[in-house]
Amino acid sequence: MIMLRYALFMFISIFCTFSLSAANADFMRSIGKIYVVVGVMLLLFLGIVFYLIQIDRRLTNFENQIKSDE
Amino acid sequence: MIKSGKIWKFTGVGLIVYVILAGMLVPLKTGIESVEPSFGNAGEVLEIEVTGYNSHFKEAGNAVRAWLKWENGKALASKSIIIKDDRKLTLSFSIPGNLPEDKEVQTVSLLIDNPIDGTSVLPSAIFLRATKGNVQSENDKWVTPGNFSKVTGITFPFRNILGETIRNTYFHVPLWFGMMFLFLFAVINSIKYLRNGTPEFDLKAEAFTHTGIFYGIMGLVTGALWAKNTWGAYWSWDIKQNMTVVALLIYAAYFILRASFEDPEKRGRVCAAYSIFAFSTLIPLLYVIPRLTDSLHPGSGGNPAFGSQDLDNTMRMVFYPAVIGWTLFGFWISSLQFRYLRLQKIQEDLD
């Protein structure tokens, strides 16, 4: 899962460099490219959220285990 | 006060996803990015190169109108407009000998209007030097700019120095709001601990403080990055930046205090008292002192920080959900931290 996300991130970065070489002088200002930035931000944020969900589940399991042991 | 149930966690995450999408994808209103040169003399012809942002000058063609406007309402229409491309214009103005104000150097704003983009303003765009000699009065040159084009559509405001970075408002500022809420709940739990002595409140206070400091550090870092690109340096020794570091250091000492005690009861009581003291320093440090002096931040010299001048109605649509979303997200992180500490404590008690 982590490998897949990392691979996706690398793919997007490589894709960005190819687009740059198309000599678009207004690169940072062309609104079209902002979708890439938004995609990366969402990817990053959702990745962190899934990590937190994982922690949340592990804690819940551990707490339930302790409750059932009592 | 950590609520159980999953809805508030999903709400927080959902709001942040909305903020990322809306905050990044809504376009900026057309604006004027730069004017070159920005000085002129009365009685001469002033020719300026104007760069617009998100503008469509070429598309608008002859419908582009431009004025230099004084604060007292008098304005000069442009003599000629040469459109180079969608974003570049060459304007020329015939500045009359008599300027409307009594000062030696007068500041004028530049207004550009066209039916596709609406009206854009660059305040204090040009400084004009008044002549002292004998010049004929040319009163017929003064016009009142009117009939402004209205465009529909939701846009964020364009500010000359900020540009696209205005979108940072949805990420940098909510971190501070979130930090205040987290520290507030830390102090509430500290007070509860002092009254009850239940160790759970002490752990909750620790968890909230932990996440609060994390939010504070993220706020400083995001602020430094934003500052580099707008104020020119990562750290400007701005009063708000300085006071925030002081506040965070005071809170960091909370953890050093925690580590220096062995007895959990004593630790809890002393740290709870320190937490109350630390929170009470937040108000003067972050909200009182920065408003008293000059600051690069909005809200200084006696003005309310981050008031109606800094937000637009379109921005409010994204900003308020951002504050709620990031705060709920912070509460989720705190709850995870608290549950971890509680399990750790159970394990310690078993040993």
- Is pLDDT at B99 greater than 70 in this prediction? yes
Q: Which CATH number fits domain B31-143: 2.60.40.10, 3.40.50.720, 1.10.645.10, 3.40.50.300?
A: 2.60.40.10
Structure tokens at A15: 């894709």
Contact B24 A38 (CB under 8 A): yes
Q: Where in chain B is the domain with CATH 2.60.40.10?
A: 31-143
Mutate to test the interface with B, among A43, A53, A60, A67 (most CBs of B within 10 A): A53
Choose the closest CB to B20 out of A45, A52, A56: A45
The number of angstroms, rounded, from the C-alpha of B243 to the middle of its chain's C-alpha atoms is: 17
Residues B97 and B106: their CA atoms lie apart, in Å, by 13
Q: Are B76 and B164 in contact (CB under 8 A)?
A: no
Q: Domain residues of chain A, as ranges?
A: 2-69
3-state DSSP of B136-162: CCCHHHEECCCCCCCCCCCCECCCCCC
User: Of A65, A47, A49, A59, which is closest to residue A3 (Cα–Cα)?
Assistant: A47
Interface residues from chain A to B (CB-CB < 8 Å):
29, 31, 34-35, 37-38, 41-42, 45-46, 49, 52, 55-56, 59, 62-63, 66
Q: Are B217 and B211 in contact (CB under 8 A)?
A: no
If you average pLDDT over residues A56-70, what whole number do you get? 88
Structure tokens at B29: 């209103």
pLDDT tens per residue, range B35-52: 989 898 888 888 999 999
Residues B341 and B336: their CA atoms lie apart, in Å, by 9
**B311 vs B237, more confident:** B237
User: Of A5, A31, A47, A15, which is closest to residue B24 (Cα–Cα)?
Assistant: A31
Choose the closest CB to A45 out of B16, B25, B339: B16
Residues B183 and B210: their CA atoms lie apart, in Å, by 9
Q: Are B11 and B343 in contact (CB under 8 A)?
A: no
The DSSP-derived string for B211-228 is: HHHHHHHHHHHHHHHHHH
Contact A59 B336 (CB under 8 A): yes
pLDDT at A12 (0 to 100) = 59
Q: In Å, how far are B36, B50, B141, B323 from B62, measured between CA atoms?
A: 22, 16, 21, 44
Shortest Cα distance, chain A CAs vs residue B209, angstroms: 18
Contact B336 A56 (CB under 8 A): yes
pLDDT tens per residue, range B172-195: 999 999 999 999 999 999 999 999
- Is pLDDT at B4 greater than 90 in this prediction? no
pLDDT tens per residue, range A2-57: 666 666 666 655 554 444 444 444 554 556 677 888 888 899 999 999 999 999 99
Q: Chain A within 8 Å of B318 (Cβ-Cβ)?
A: no
- What ipTM is given for this predicted complex? 0.72
- Is pLDDT at B59 greater than 90 in this prediction? no
pLDDT at A18 (0 to 100) = 45
